[in-house]
Amino acid sequence: MILLKATIEISCNEPEIILKSIQPELENAKNFKVNLKALKDKIIVNIESEKISGLLAGINSYLRLVKVAKDSLEI
């Protein structure tokens, strides 16, 4: 069994606020595992899955969630 992994770093001004806003979505992940970390000026998203489809679903989902949260802070 091969475990596929992706790490994404996203620069942002309010990483803690963004992390709190998307934290509830962590429980909804079924085809992948996700771990989020807020640093001083960025969020690190670690995604793991046994299938490429699960990895891609995780990447797409969390990129979209972070973008929406980041955009809403700019309003």
Rounded to whole angstroms, how far apart are CA atoms 8 and 18?
A: 15
| Domains recognised in the chain with CATH numbers | 4-73 (3.30.310.50)
Judged by average pLDDT, the poorest of 9-13, 17-21, 29-33, 59-63 is 29-33
pLDDT at 3: 95
CA distances from 66 to 1, 19, 29, 49, 72 (A): 30, 8, 15, 20, 10
The whole model's pTM is what? 0.87
pLDDT tens, position by position, 27-65: 777 889 999 999 999 999 999 999 999 999 999 999 999
